[in-house]
Amino acid sequence: MTVADGRRARREAEQRAQTTQTMRDPAAEKAAQRAHDREARAEALLIADELGVITASWGRRSLAYFVDIVCYLIVASPGLIAAWFLIAGANWARPGLDVFTKQPNFLLLLIIMLSGLLLGWIFIIVEVALHGLKGLTIGKALAGIRSVSVVLMRKPGFWRIVLRTVILQASNVVLPLIGPAVILCSSLWSERGIGWLDRVSKSRVIDVRLGLNPLDLKALRRAERRIARPERIVETDLPSLATHGSPDAHFAPSARSRLGVVGENPILPPGERREDWAGDAPQTSPSSGGAPQPQEPQRSQVSAPHERQAPTAREPQAPAPAAQASYVVEGAGVSADITSVPALLGRNPQAREGENVNLVPVNDPSHSMSKTHALLGTEPRGVWIEDRGSANGTVIVLPDGSEQKVEPFAPVMLGGSVVRCGDCEFRVMTKGARQ
């Protein structure tokens, strides 16, 4: 069933319903509803394929069923063993229930057998509840597969799993072993690996080892943003609105930042233009300098501006210091100067005791950034970055497009100008030449 087939069936059902508007036709309404459900199901399967959902193989599903059966036999083994002793020790020559009740340990064996059966039923109920509310059982967890709703991509639902369990047990009563085997093998001749029980419960079994796990909300949000991200717009040569020269002059657009920062940077010195700041920080090979160490003692020795005294006429003035680079990190709606004081990025950053840093809170609705994510600072060689044990990690995007992962609590020199913290990107901008 494709999306086109579902839409065609719905249109035909709606046309039949319109022709019978004068008199209510329940059959036409049900046909239209079924066509609508088939179309929604086909569209949901296509969206799941785009998100990266992979159907579990028949081998994995068989392994999960086998593990669940073994777990049930282990839990119910005391009752099964007691029942075997009752049958083996029965005196079939006696009439009625005396066949079993006249055994010396009849009461003890009966209690053990009933306890084992009770444990077995408790195990089945727990498995059904986990399957309906979490989409997994013990066997599915070990096999790396999950059950999810086809349309909603969420948990299958408790009562739907109860219905498929009842059908499976009924097939075992009608055709012992053969009925369940045929039902469990029905996914082999399905185009998408959806068996009869999956159709009854409106669910599907997916492989979370190889594909996306829709029950992982963070991974699902990242996949949805990936497929919803619009295509990049290629800029063409357009006349500048600020140009007063000839309209035939060729306009060469400068490099634009991909980060959504609007307006003049409030951290830049007054009177300076944003065009004077380069979009790429001076690149330093990560392997050339080793792990940098923040120079806290050197910064603490610099006197405050109000403590400096102007040189008198008798005192020779020192030569002007060499021009130093200024660094600003911007992105995700924030901007911070890291030239003199390191910037600590995160959703709600918390500095260590006695640490002199600039706290930069980032508004991240997806929570891909940790509360205290990464620390950026400078030293004479350039910019360094340190991951503060974030959940989704910190990545440096190198000039050739490759990525370098930053190990937690191990400062490294920045080999590029773009840093990705979770799903948020930041760019380090610089002005001036380093000596």
Higher-confidence position of 361 and 293: 361
Residues 65 and 101 in one domain: yes
pLDDT category of residue 247 using cuts at 50, 70 and 90: very low
Residue 317 lies in a domain: no
| 181-190, 222-231, 318-327, range with greatest mean pLDDT | 181-190
Residue 204 lies in a domain: yes
Residue 206 lies in a domain: yes
Last residue of a domain, one of 209, 225, 241: 225
pLDDT category of residue 100 using cuts at 50, 70 and 90: confident
Domain count, the chain: 3
Residues 17 and 161 in one domain: no
Residue 243 lies in a domain: no
Residues 284 and 348 in one domain: yes
Please say if the pLDDT value at position 280 is more than 60. Answer: no
Query: What local confidence, expressed as pLDDT, does residue 273 receive?
Result: 59
Report which of 15, 12, 17 is spatially closest to residue 28, judged by C-alpha positions.
17
Report which of 256, 260, 218, 239 is spatially closest to residue 369, judged by C-alpha positions.
218
Distance CA 83, CA 125 (A): 22
Query: What local confidence, expressed as pLDDT, does residue 419 receive?
Result: 92
Residue 367 lies in a domain: yes
Report which of 431, 415, 414, 332 is spatially closest to residue 375, judged by C-alpha positions.
414
Higher-confidence position of 49 and 208: 208
pLDDT digits (tens, 9 = 90+) for 373-408: 999 999 888 899 999 989 889 999 888 888 899 999
Residues 211 and 354 in one domain: no
Instruction: Output the CA torsion sign for 88, 94, 98, 104.
Output: negative
* Contact call for residues 27 and 64 (beta carbons, < 8 A): no
pLDDT category of residue 203 using cuts at 50, 70 and 90: confident
pLDDT digits (tens, 9 = 90+) for 2-25: 656 666 777 777 776 666 554 556
Mean pLDDT for the stretch of residues 77-82: 90
Query: What local confidence, expressed as pLDDT, does residue 407 receive?
Result: 92
Domain carrying residue 33: 3-51
- Backbone φ and ψ for 72, nearest 5 degrees, come out as -65, -45
Residues 111 and 133 in one domain: yes
Residues 332 and 370 in one domain: yes
Helix 106-134 × helix 58-88 angle, to 10° = 160
Query: What local confidence, expressed as pLDDT, does residue 127 receive?
Result: 92
Residues 189 and 159 in one domain: yes
pLDDT category of residue 201 using cuts at 50, 70 and 90: confident
Mean pLDDT for the stretch of residues 314-330: 63
Residue 378 lies in a domain: yes
pLDDT category of residue 308 using cuts at 50, 70 and 90: very low
DSSP string, 12-74: HHHHHHHHT-SS--HHHHHHHHHHHHHHHHHHHHHHHHHHT--BPPHHHHHHHHHHHHHHHHH
pLDDT category of residue 38 using cuts at 50, 70 and 90: confident
Q: Which residues contact 415 (CB under 8 A, 6 or more apart)?
A: 283, 284, 285, 286, 396, 398, 399, 404
Per-residue tokens: 115? 């306890």
Residue 348 belongs to a domain with what CATH number? 2.60.200.20
What one-letter code names the amino acid at 206? Answer: I
Residue 306 lies in a domain: no
Query: What local confidence, expressed as pLDDT, does residue 394 receive?
Result: 92
pTM of the model: 0.48
* Contact call for residues 112 and 82 (beta carbons, < 8 A): yes
Residue 82, H or E segment: helix 58-88
Query: What local confidence, expressed as pLDDT, does residue 277 receive?
Result: 58
Residues 87 and 191 in one domain: yes
pLDDT digits (tens, 9 = 90+) for 102-119: 778 888 888 999 999 999
Query: What local confidence, expressed as pLDDT, does residue 395 receive?
Result: 92
Helix 217-228 × helix 26-51 angle, to 10° = 90
* Contact call for residues 404 and 286 (beta carbons, < 8 A): yes
Residues 88 and 122 in one domain: yes
Please say if the pLDDT value at position 238 is more than 50. Answer: no
**Average of per-residue pLDDT values in the chain:** 75
Residue 353 lies in a domain: yes
Residues 196 and 340 in one domain: no
Residues 290 and 409 in one domain: yes
Residues 124 and 40 in one domain: no
